Amino acid sequence: MTDAPAFGLSDTDLAAHNTVFASDALKGRVAVISGGGGGIGRAIAWLYARLGASVVVTGRKPEKIDPLIEALRAAGHTASGETLDIRDRAQVDGFWARQWADKGGADILVNSAGGQFPQAAIDFSPKGWNAVIDTNLNGTWNMMQAAALKWREFEHPGSIVNIVVVTTHGLYGVAHSMAARAGVISLSQSVAVEWAPYNIRTNCIAPGAIETEGWNVYSPAARAAYPKTNPMMRVGTAWDIAEASAFLSAASGNFITGEVLTVDGGGQHWGETWTTGKPDYFDV
Ligand SMILES: CCC/C=C/C(=O)SCCNC(=O)CCNC(=O)[C@H](O)C(C)(C)COP(=O)([O-])OP(=O)([O-])OC[C@H]1O[C@@H](n2cnc3c(N)ncnc32)[C@H](O)[C@@H]1OP(=O)([O-])[O-]
Ligand SMILES: NC(=O)C1=CN([C@@H]2O[C@H](COP(=O)(O)OP(=O)(O)OC[C@H]3O[C@@H](n4cnc5c(N)ncnc54)[C@H](OP(=O)(O)O)[C@@H]3O)[C@@H](O)[C@H]2O)C=CC1
């Protein structure tokens, strides 16, 4: 079990957390979750499995994925996984080919793989910029297109949820990620139309400050300010995102496509998040 993470919910928490959904809300569905070993992806894997889905978790590090699969199976759920770098198109295509050839295809894709490092934009190195764009924009696209090609080939309906960030207001020190995620949102809105004839829905979730192990890249001072970045004056949990994602993936989302569901405690309307710490210039 990947228990007792430094930040966020443990497998024990996720196995027992209350849910508003019926236990068969995703019965018989196969859900692929990229970044499934991370904080939000792991919560999504637990919730979807508990709602009856067979979950397939992917990520680069087997040490994050393997214990999760073991824990899900020990709890009686159907789970499998593969190591996969979403930036590597050949790996992505190979994964989707195997998923359809040997593992029963897929109905749902959740792209939770992603991330960035906090730095003032003026100091970005070309390599750092490219790493974040490649991960969040190209990597997400690789997974989306590879999934959609299979859904078109097999004339099978599909649903995609992309986990992005709030790009409209108030998140600073991660301009590379803002650029990439704005790209993912626009892309998702475009293909929501283009792929509607294939019965593929594409939506995004924009989380606010959600306490997960992904917060390790932020300084203690930056993290300490996160609860005050929204009018609810607290941070959210990975479960908040998992339930929003389930809403979009399950039948409750059947008439929703091209949407961005913001789950940020109202932070898009009030508050600001400085991942690098707030510069004195703005501290008036
Ligand atoms: C509430 C707040 C909002 C929260 C939002 C969240 O999403 S939270 C949760 C989200 N979770 C996460 O965000 C997960 C954590 N994030 C990551 O894993 C990475 O940021 C990644 C997504 C870019 C992966 O990149 P990768 O696999 O390629 O890893 P790599 O290590 O090889 O880096 C490549 C290059 O990037 C550069 N560079 C990297 N770090 C720094 C830095 N601190 N400083 C400066 N530059 C940095 C550097 O150029 C480096 O190359 P070098 O110079 O070393 O040869
Ligand atoms: N937590 C928060 O406050 C917020 C999070 N988000 C976004 O939500 C998503 C999930 O975040 P969260 O769970 O908190 O972060 P985590 O860092 O816990 O999880 C992200 C996961 O993505 C995986 N990943 C990163 N790069 C790649 C890659 N190239 N190929 C495959 N997998 C990759 C990592 O797995 P591995 O290391 O094994 O590759 C990691 O487990 C991210 O996109 C994040 O930016 C958005 C807003 C706020």
Cβ neighbours for 236, distance < 8 A, ≥ 6 positions apart: 207, 208, 209, 210, 211, 263, 264, 265
Answer yes or no: is pLDDT of 3 > 90.
no
- Give nearest CA residue, ligand 2 atom 36: 60
pLDDT band at 207 (very low <50, low <70, confident <90, very high): very high
pLDDT band at 283 (very low <50, low <70, confident <90, very high): confident
Q: How far is the CA of 246 from the centre of ligand 2 (A)?
A: 18
**Spans of all domains in the chain:** 21-267
Q: Which two tokens stand for residue 79?
A: 């789970």
pLDDT above 60: residue 74: yes
- pLDDT in the model for residue 5: 82
Instruction: Tell me the ipTM for this assembly.
Output: 0.97
Query: If DSSP codes are grouped into helix, strand and coil, which group holds residue 118?
Result: coil
Tell me the average pLDDT across 214-225. 96
Single-letter amino acid, residue 173: G
212 in Cβ contact with 41 (< 8 Å): no
SS (H, E, C) 164-182: CCCCCCCEECCHHHHHHHH
CATH number of 21-267: 3.40.50.720
- Asked whether 127 lines ligand 1 (CB < 6 A), one says yes
pLDDT of residue 89 exceeding 60, the answer is: yes
Residue 212 CA, closest ligand 2 atom number: 14
Q: pLDDT, tens digit, for every residue of 146-185?
A: 999 999 999 999 999 999 999 998 999 999 999 999 999 9
DSSP assignments along 2-42, one per residue: --S-SSS--HHHHHH---SS-TTTTTT-EEEEETTTSHHHH
Mean pLDDT over all residues of the chain? Answer: 97
Q: How confident is the model at residue 4 (pLDDT cuts 50, 70, 90)?
A: confident
Ligand nearest to the CA of 84: 2
- What's the pLDDT tens digit per position in 105-156? 999 999 999 999 999 999 999 999 999 999 999 999 999 999 999 999 999 9
The residue length of the chain stands at 284
Whether 132 lines ligand 1, by a CB cut-off of 6 Å, is: yes
